[in-house]
Structure 1
């Protein structure tokens, strides 16, 4: 089975953990062990990942040095794709004993420059702050901010992914038995100019939406959206919360899960299955293999 496994930001970096290379490598090592189980079970694998905390930190570092020379978000996205991809690639090779070929591909994702998301930023990036801290930084840097649980974070535009021009290259690598790490952070957002050439856009594409599109384009049979919770719940964070084990596409689309957390995952899973995918699973990273047999997480199917 060809599996696209999307590592959520919380699966790579727990909330409030420091954004150090050592902490991220330790978390990636845990993720690699879970993904290696999927490969050893005989499945082909494509890995995508989030980058919200990392791209936000790079933006802060750039702004603190020379604000007028800070790199745009598409360039920062490429940098984080390379950094996180390197860690995943190396730890996957270590977990598999160098038995498999692994490659990281910087992946462009085409968006519409007229997407209404550019007028209403919603994508969280960077560290969390108390409200007073966030408002002070927003005033100084011209940010948009929004509440993320009990904390506050910067938000940027998150347009819908329309095309992945590198999908052919990904298929070529898969045909040669390569495990591919790609579309990190939703991919590098670009737009197509009138002459057909591409140019970067100041945005961050939603990782789950890009992963669902990628999975459909390369003919994957399964999409795993891996995070730090057991799956999709009714009554989340209340004494009455109940884990939902199975959802049809119609049931998934009728839900109103939070837009800043589970909502995009449920939407992406439903879209993948409705476009011909066999199953989509949402759940814990360490239960990735069990999700493929329907024994863990929340499974969305036709």
Structure 2
């Protein structure tokens, strides 16, 4: 079967998952990656500042100062996923913003990206793929990031994203292992993207507030965090707020306390949870963090939203970010990596 360009297409019907909810579960991924690391660089080589050890958002390699040029760091990352919305242009914009986010989460500036496209060429018209790529290009252009080609494969399931290379100051990185007790925690985008996207996939309802949130670059939030002197951050995507915060707390050897009343949510998110639009990825996130979390009196709906698999979510910064709500703080190491109050 091949759908013509005149046939209305719901792209989410061609995906087993949606957006970052289709990630491999965090526990399974850590089992796969355990013990895998690159060779130790020889003296004089460019050092790897951030690798796989702490599960940070991107790899960072230091470039030494030469010829009067200040030392710089290269940030490398890749991110792609199945359709999270039905509109191909919006999907392209969301996927690009999500891929660029990893560079911003490290305190970097995206420099160049290449497209990663998987397309069922015998089923979906290439006019739709063009719209996906156009959306990605428009977001990269907004970010001041070049798009220099890419790679495509024939695949039964559509997927799109980018591999991104950025630059950063090696002395002003945002890392997930530099949190210290006493730092406040700021969240720069509201939660609930996962459940609203899952409702969209099931019903076709369009949630403009979710699309607007997902296509918003984390550029300004990253710049504000650096300007405020922050050194620790991560972005909140497929593993949910609790999953990414657990990784940050573990890497920094601290416990994080979240004030559940201070966490912002998108309009309609709680209703979507009550109506049952919770992805399998979100439930796997919650199962993974349960042994490391003291949930206090948080109800079942709140727990699911805090573990909700976000797509192109905001930054979680250990420090105050102008305009972003403070949702908790880092405290001394304790029995749990995350405590809800």
Instruction: Tell me if TM exceeds 0.5.
Output: no
How high is the TM-score relative to the length of structure 2? 0.27
How high is the TM-score relative to the length of structure 1? 0.29
Larger Rg: 2
- Name the one with the larger helix percent: 1
